[in-house]
């Protein structure tokens, strides 16, 4: 039977890491919402008996590095007023040979631009009510219509590594 799991905004995080001509830039965002629909059988995420669906949603304003100068420039470039959400939606999930690993294909919308993406995730089932989904992927921000910032001697490179840790709890 297909169950619906709500993403816990308090327990889920999306982190990012960019490099620059001066030093690395790290950031993290909480407040991720969304859902996962799938079967979980015997403590295992089962993709064979149902068409799983996953959707993530993050307010773009929550993307922060902790440096007010960088964060202001990031919000300005993203234009969070015009593009307030970052969303991801799985369209296809394929189980890999390694237990608990999956290839996910889907659509990512960032800065008002939607692009097809794919990557690998790990899904664990720590208890009968919880799913933990983890993965990381490198994106080129230019694919989403953004030019990396250049400020004085600082030049941010266009590739950004994004890490997700999603905790989803079964809905009653």
Domains annotated on the chain, with CATH: 3-170 (2.40.128.110)
Please give the pLDDT value at position 133: 95
Task: With beta carbons less than 8 A apart as the criterion, state whether 155 and 122 touch.
Answer: no
Kindly tell me if the per-residue pLDDT of 91 is higher than 80.
yes
Kindly tell me if the per-residue pLDDT of 45 is higher than 80.
no
Kindly tell me if the per-residue pLDDT of 75 is higher than 70.
yes
- Residues 3-37 pLDDT 10s: 899 999 999 999 999 998 888 999 999 999 999 98
Measured between its terminal Cα atoms, the distance across the chain in Å is: 14
Please give the pLDDT value at position 49: 57
How far is residue 30's CA from residue 62's CA, in Å, rounded to a whole number? 7
Task: With beta carbons less than 8 A apart as the criterion, state whether 43 and 88 touch.
Answer: no
Kindly tell me if the per-residue pLDDT of 71 is higher than 70.
yes
């Amino acid at each position: 039977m297909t169950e619906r799991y709500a993403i816990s905004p308090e327990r889920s995080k999306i982190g990012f890491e960019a490099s620059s001509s001066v030093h690395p830039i790290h950031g993290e965002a909480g407040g991720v919402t969304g859902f996962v629909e799938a079967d979980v059988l015997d403590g295992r995420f089962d993709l064979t008996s149902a068409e799983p669906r996953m959707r993530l949603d993050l307010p773009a304003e929550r993307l922060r590095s902790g440096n007010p100068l960088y964060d202001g420039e990031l919000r300005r470039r993203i234009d969070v007023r015009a593009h307030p959400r970052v969303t991801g939606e799985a369209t296809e999930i394929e189980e890999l040979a390694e237990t608990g690993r999956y290839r996910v294909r889907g659509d990512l919308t960032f800065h008002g631009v939607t692009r097809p993406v794919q990557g690998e995730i790990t899904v664990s089932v720590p208890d009968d009510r919880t799913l933990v989904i983890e993965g990381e992927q490198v994106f080129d921000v230019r694919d989403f219509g953004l030019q990396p910032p250049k400020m004085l001697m600082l030049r941010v490179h266009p590739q950004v590594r994004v890490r997700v840790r999603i905790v989803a709890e079964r809905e009653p």
